[in-house]
Protein backbone atom coordinates (compact mmCIF):
# COMPACT_ATOMS: atom_id res chain seq x y z
CA UNK A 1 0.00 0.00 0.00
CA UNK A 2 1.44 3.33 -1.05
CA UNK A 3 0.95 5.97 1.64
CA UNK A 4 -0.68 9.25 0.60
CA UNK A 5 1.18 12.55 0.47
CA UNK A 6 -0.84 13.75 3.48
CA UNK A 7 -2.17 11.24 5.99
CA UNK A 8 -4.86 12.53 8.36
CA UNK A 9 -4.72 11.26 11.94
CA UNK A 10 -7.89 12.12 13.85
CA UNK A 11 -8.07 12.35 17.62
CA UNK A 12 -11.14 10.42 18.80
CA UNK A 13 -12.75 9.84 22.19
CA UNK A 14 -13.03 6.05 21.82
CA UNK A 15 -10.88 4.36 19.19
CA UNK A 16 -12.85 1.10 19.13
CA UNK A 17 -16.21 2.88 18.84
CA UNK A 18 -14.82 4.94 15.95
CA UNK A 19 -13.41 1.82 14.25
CA UNK A 20 -16.77 0.05 14.69
CA UNK A 21 -18.57 3.03 13.13
CA UNK A 22 -16.28 3.22 10.10
CA UNK A 23 -16.35 -0.57 9.58
CA UNK A 24 -20.15 -0.34 9.24
CA UNK A 25 -19.52 2.15 6.44
CA UNK A 26 -17.27 -0.24 4.52
CA UNK A 27 -13.84 0.67 5.92
CA UNK A 28 -11.29 -1.88 7.13
CA UNK A 29 -9.23 -1.18 10.27
CA UNK A 30 -5.64 -2.30 10.79
CA UNK A 31 -3.35 -1.84 13.78
CA UNK A 32 -0.71 0.76 13.02
CA UNK A 33 2.10 -1.11 14.76
CA UNK A 34 3.07 -3.99 17.01
CA UNK A 35 2.59 -2.27 20.39
CA UNK A 36 -0.52 -3.78 22.05
CA UNK A 37 -0.81 -0.71 24.33
CA UNK A 38 -1.04 1.64 21.36
CA UNK A 39 -4.55 2.09 19.93
CA UNK A 40 -3.56 3.92 16.74
CA UNK A 41 -5.52 2.38 13.84
CA UNK A 42 -5.17 2.72 10.08
CA UNK A 43 -8.45 2.77 8.17
CA UNK A 44 -8.59 1.59 4.58
CA UNK A 45 -11.35 2.20 2.08
CA UNK A 46 -11.53 -0.10 -0.94
CA UNK A 47 -8.11 -1.44 0.12
CA UNK A 48 -6.45 1.98 0.05
CA UNK A 49 -5.30 4.18 2.91
CA UNK A 50 -7.99 6.62 4.03
CA UNK A 51 -7.02 7.92 7.48
CA UNK A 52 -5.75 7.06 10.95
CA UNK A 53 -7.63 7.34 14.25
CA UNK A 54 -6.03 7.66 17.67
CA UNK A 55 -7.50 8.06 21.15
CA UNK A 56 -7.43 11.76 22.03
CA UNK A 57 -5.51 11.26 25.31
CA UNK A 58 -2.78 9.32 23.50
CA UNK A 59 -2.57 11.91 20.73
CA UNK A 60 -2.30 14.74 23.27
CA UNK A 61 0.46 12.84 25.08
CA UNK A 62 2.30 12.26 21.80
CA UNK A 63 1.97 15.92 20.72
CA UNK A 64 1.46 18.11 23.81
CA UNK A 65 0.80 21.15 21.61
CA UNK A 66 -2.64 19.56 20.97
CA UNK A 67 -3.41 19.49 24.71
CA UNK A 68 -6.30 21.99 24.64
CA UNK A 69 -7.58 21.15 21.17
CA UNK A 70 -11.12 19.71 21.27
CA UNK A 71 -11.97 16.46 19.52
CA UNK A 72 -13.64 17.16 16.17
CA UNK A 73 -12.10 19.50 13.67
CA UNK A 74 -13.10 22.69 11.98
CA UNK A 75 -13.13 21.54 8.41
CA UNK A 76 -14.15 18.42 6.57
CA UNK A 77 -12.81 15.40 4.77
CA UNK A 78 -13.98 13.96 1.47
CA UNK A 79 -14.48 10.31 0.62
CA UNK A 80 -14.54 9.48 -3.10
CA UNK A 81 -16.56 6.34 -3.90
CA UNK A 82 -17.06 4.31 -7.07
CA UNK A 83 -20.89 4.28 -6.94
CA UNK A 84 -22.19 7.41 -5.21
CA UNK A 85 -25.89 6.47 -5.22
CA UNK A 86 -25.40 2.93 -3.93
CA UNK A 87 -22.98 3.99 -1.19
CA UNK A 88 -25.14 6.87 0.07
CA UNK A 89 -28.21 4.60 0.10
CA UNK A 90 -26.29 1.97 2.10
CA UNK A 91 -24.86 4.31 4.74
CA UNK A 92 -27.75 6.79 5.14
CA UNK A 93 -29.43 4.79 7.96
CA UNK A 94 -26.07 4.41 9.76
CA UNK A 95 -25.02 8.06 9.94
CA UNK A 96 -26.15 11.47 11.11
CA UNK A 97 -26.79 13.43 7.93
CA UNK A 98 -25.26 16.90 8.07
CA UNK A 99 -26.33 18.01 4.61
CA UNK A 100 -28.31 15.83 2.25
CA UNK A 101 -27.34 15.22 -1.35
CA UNK A 102 -26.73 18.45 -3.18
CA UNK A 103 -25.15 19.40 -6.46
CA UNK A 104 -22.16 21.73 -6.42
CA UNK A 105 -20.23 22.59 -9.59
CA UNK A 106 -21.58 19.48 -11.29
CA UNK A 107 -20.66 17.10 -8.43
CA UNK A 108 -23.15 15.52 -6.06
CA UNK A 109 -22.08 15.53 -2.41
CA UNK A 110 -23.55 13.97 0.74
CA UNK A 111 -22.31 15.10 4.17
CA UNK A 112 -22.45 13.21 7.46
CA UNK A 113 -20.72 13.38 10.83
CA UNK A 114 -18.84 10.62 12.59
CA UNK A 115 -19.19 9.92 16.34
CA UNK A 116 -16.61 12.60 17.21
CA UNK A 117 -18.10 15.36 15.06
CA UNK A 118 -15.79 15.11 12.07
CA UNK A 119 -17.65 16.00 8.87
CA UNK A 120 -17.24 13.63 5.91
CA UNK A 121 -18.41 14.60 2.43
CA UNK A 122 -19.07 11.70 0.06
CA UNK A 123 -18.63 12.30 -3.65
CA UNK A 124 -18.32 10.28 -6.85
CA UNK A 125 -14.75 9.16 -7.58
CA UNK A 126 -13.40 10.94 -10.62
CA UNK A 127 -11.59 9.11 -13.37
CA UNK A 128 -9.87 12.18 -14.80
Model-wide pTM > 0.95: no
Residue 106 is predicted with a pLDDT of 84
* Gyration radius (Cα) of the chain, Å: 15
DSSP string, 30-89: EESSS-TT---EEEEETTEEEEEEEEHHHHHHH-GGGTTPPSS-SSEEEEEES-HHHHHH
Distance of CA 93 to the CA centre of its chain: 17
* CATH code for the domain in which residue 58 is found: 3.10.180.10
Residue 68 is predicted with a pLDDT of 86
pLDDT tens, position by position, 72-117: 766 788 899 999 999 999 999 999 999 999 898 888 999 999 999 8
The answer to whether residue 35 scores a pLDDT higher than 70 is yes
Q: How many domains does the chain have?
A: 1
> Is 55 among the domain residues?
yes
> Is 102 among the domain residues?
yes
Residue 3 is predicted with a pLDDT of 61
Residue 109 is predicted with a pLDDT of 93
Amino acid sequence: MKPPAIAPCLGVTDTQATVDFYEKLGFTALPAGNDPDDDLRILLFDGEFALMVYRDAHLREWLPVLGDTPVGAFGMFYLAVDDFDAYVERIRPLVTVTKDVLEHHGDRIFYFTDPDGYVIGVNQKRTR
